Amino acid sequence: MARIYSKNEKYNGISAGINFVNGVGVSTDSRLLSWFEENGYCILPELDEMNYKELTEYAKSKGLNGIGMKKEELYQLLKETEEPNA
């Protein structure tokens, strides 16, 4: 599952079949996630649902080095760097 962040943080409604509350929707449909990303939405995976290998691969794709980190440390690093409105 991934979180979809609208440009409008106050948006409440349905777009492409996804319900948004305060600018955030969720989906597991990779086709929809791709569409939202292509249209300027910020897409973030649910980090707490990822295993260690998935977390390290995701960190690598973001240019972060998670080598030698415990899962909890890597999770925290990704969570801190992935907040769209931070």
Cβ-based neighbour number of residue 74 at 10 Å: 22
Per-residue pLDDT of the chain (86 residues; tens, 9 = 90+): 889 999 899 999 999 999 999 999 999 998 999 999 999 998 888 888 888 888 888 888 888 888 888 988 988 888 888 766 54
Helices within the chain (DSSP H only): 30-38, 52-61, 71-82
In the sheet that 42-45 helps form, which strands lie side by side, from edge to edge?
Answer: 24-27, 2-5, 42-45
> How far is Cα 29 from Cα 85, in angstroms, rounded to an integer?
24
